[in-house]
Amino acid sequence: MSDRRIEQAYEAARERYAALGVDTERALAALSSVALSLPVWQADDVTGFETRTGSLSGGIVVTGGRGGLPRSVDELRRDLDAVYALLPGRHRLNLHAIYGEFGGRQVDRDAIEPEHFAGWADWGASRGLRLDFNATCFAHPRAETGFTLASPDRGIRAFWIEHCGRARAVGAFLGRRQGAPAIHNLWIPDGTKDAPLDRAERRCTLAAALDEVFATAWPAAELKDAVESKLFGIGSESFVVGSHEFYLGYAQRAGKMVCLDLGHFHPTESVADKISSLLVFFPELLLHVSRGVRWDSDHVVLFDDAVRAVAEEIVRAGAMGRVHIALDFFDGSVNRPGALVLGARSVLRALLAALLEPRERLLAAQRAGDTLALLALAEEAKALPWGAVWDQHCLRHGVLPGEAWIPQVTEYERRCRSERGGER
């Protein structure tokens, strides 16, 4: 579609929304302020750059073996550049500890240093991208028992306490370098396949270990901490130490953010419904947007009902500045850079649709007790021309609108697969 036709469609949409009391310019300004944190691990199947080789573990499984994996940090960054070039707005990158630049040396996780991530800080600064960070508590010999911070083995606990403390130090380093806090999120795979007898003991052990991890206080201007729960995982089907209730209590006591992952709850449980409840008691939340299909399968995010409901709840709660949104998925069966573009654009579209909701009209109907008008107007709103507003958003940010980005990322991947061949 030509720029002129996009402008014409937008003007028509703007008038339609104005008739319902919605200011499209205000919605576009709000959307432009959103900075999604993209998961670097989607770009290379959670491989990272440790010299250790071996399969993933700790409930992490990547399906598919599509060729064209980046073979170096430089190739990975080139892929990310291709992704960000197709996204409207200025966004972030979410790193795991296994993505350090270790110079071909074996650096175990209890020995990582900020220097191993200085190249990422430089790259982010050169592109105006801010970075977030995660400890990597899986795919390691000291995680093979199924326990890390909650391990009954003091030696194993000490290793992971040291790793997590160093990961937080890396996050604080990134925050200082970028002049804005990095979010450090902590997820561990600890749990058991069958029901244990020592649930309480394992949870008391985890709480004590977390106290050691968080013993060093970093300035809020450099680092913000979040803890992430899970209902179950592969190898922890019956018991997960870090349940939602556990981390809810711990975060409240320790002054940390709660991280809600859309795939980490029961399939029929609404994550959207949790947002406004938690915002009453927590100043900020972290959201990991994923798409579980029957289980926590980390499918590529789409603009589906769950994502739309989460976006609506954030906007309706007036919490755009209080909910940090990161994506969390990994799929090796599809075009990897394309999956990042698709996931990010899907979340942005969901937020735009929520920002364009005729909220005042809907609230008036609700407050008048007119349930029919409320439901009917909400249904009619689904057909409003938000797509024309989205295309205008893309146009203003100099990125391809509509489906025009698909051939570009398809051709990019074709060249990468030709140059790189199969798996690295």
**Above 60 in pLDDT, residue 320?**
yes
Q: Which of 255, 258, 247 is nearest to 220 (CA)?
A: 255
Clarify whether 328 is annotated catalytic. yes
Please report the pLDDT score of residue 64 as a whole number: 87
Clarify whether 218 is annotated catalytic. no
Mean pLDDT of 250-271: 96
Question: d(Cα 318, Cα 289) in Å, to the nearest integer?
Answer: 19
Catalytic residue among 225, 298, 313, 357: 298
Least confident of 65-69, 180-184, 353-357, 407-411: 65-69
Catalytic residue among 187, 218, 386, 390: 187
Mean pLDDT of 55-69: 80
Domain 35-355 = CATH 3.20.20.150: yes
Clarify whether 230 is annotated catalytic. yes
18 C-beta neighbours (distance < 10 Å), count: 12
Portion of the chain with pLDDT greater than 90, in percent: 93
Pairing of strands 239-240, 191-192: antiparallel
pLDDT band at 236; cut points 50, 70, 90? very high
**Above 90 in pLDDT, residue 122?**
yes
Q: How far is CA 251 from CA 47, 189, 285, in A?
A: 30, 18, 11
pLDDT in tens, 193-206: 999 999 999 999 99
pLDDT band at 422; cut points 50, 70, 90? low
**Above 90 in pLDDT, residue 424?**
no
Clarify whether 222 is annotated catalytic. no
Let me know: does 201 contact 157? Beta carbons within 8 Å: no
Catalytic residue among 75, 132, 328, 413: 328
In angstroms, what is the C-alpha Rg of the chain?
Answer: 22
pLDDT band at 57; cut points 50, 70, 90? low
Please tell me what DSSP assigns to residue 145: T
**Above 60 in pLDDT, residue 105?**
yes
Catalytic residue among 261, 357, 391, 413: 261
The residue type found at 407 is P
Q: Where are the domains of the chain?
A: 1-33+359-424, 35-355
Clarify whether 193 is annotated catalytic. no
pLDDT band at 277; cut points 50, 70, 90? very high
Catalytic residue among 91, 140, 184, 230: 230
pLDDT band at 52; cut points 50, 70, 90? low
**Above 70 in pLDDT, residue 10?**
yes
Question: d(Cα 87, Cα 280) in Å, to the nearest integer?
Answer: 32
Catalytic residue among 264, 299, 324, 393: 264
Clarify whether 244 is annotated catalytic. no
Q: How far is CA 12 from CA 5, 7, 28, 56, in A?
A: 11, 9, 15, 51
Portion of the chain with pLDDT greater than 70, in percent: 97
**Above 60 in pLDDT, residue 423?**
no
Question: Which ranges in 50-90 belong to alpha helices (H)?
Answer: 73-84
Please report the pLDDT score of residue 322 as a whole number: 98
Please report the pLDDT score of residue 288 as a whole number: 98
pLDDT band at 62; cut points 50, 70, 90? confident
Catalytic residue among 296, 312, 331, 413: 296
Residue 82 makes CB contacts below 8 A (sequence gap 6+) with 337, 409, 412
Clarify whether 194 is annotated catalytic. no
Clarify whether 391 is annotated catalytic. no
pLDDT band at 292; cut points 50, 70, 90? very high
Please report the pLDDT score of residue 256 as a whole number: 98
Which single residue is written with the structure tokens 């977390």? 210
Catalytic residue among 50, 79, 222, 228: 228
Clarify whether 296 is annotated catalytic. yes
pLDDT in tens, 24-48: 999 999 999 999 999 999 999 999 9
Question: Interior CA angle at 284 toward 278 and 286, to 5°?
Answer: 85
Mean pLDDT score of the chain: 95
Write the DSSP string, 228-287: E--S-BTTBSSEESS-HHHHHHHHHHHT-EEEEETTSS-TT--SHHHHHHHHHH-S-EEE
Mean pLDDT of 215-240: 96
Please report the pLDDT score of residue 14 as a whole number: 98
Catalytic residue among 140, 184, 256, 288: 288
SS3 track for 323-362: EEEEECCCCCCCCHHHHHHHHHHHHHHHHHHHHCCCHHHH
**Above 80 in pLDDT, residue 140?**
yes
pLDDT in tens, 71-100: 999 999 999 999 999 999 999 999 999 999
Mean pLDDT of 360-368: 97
Helix (H) or strand (E) holding 5: helix 3-18
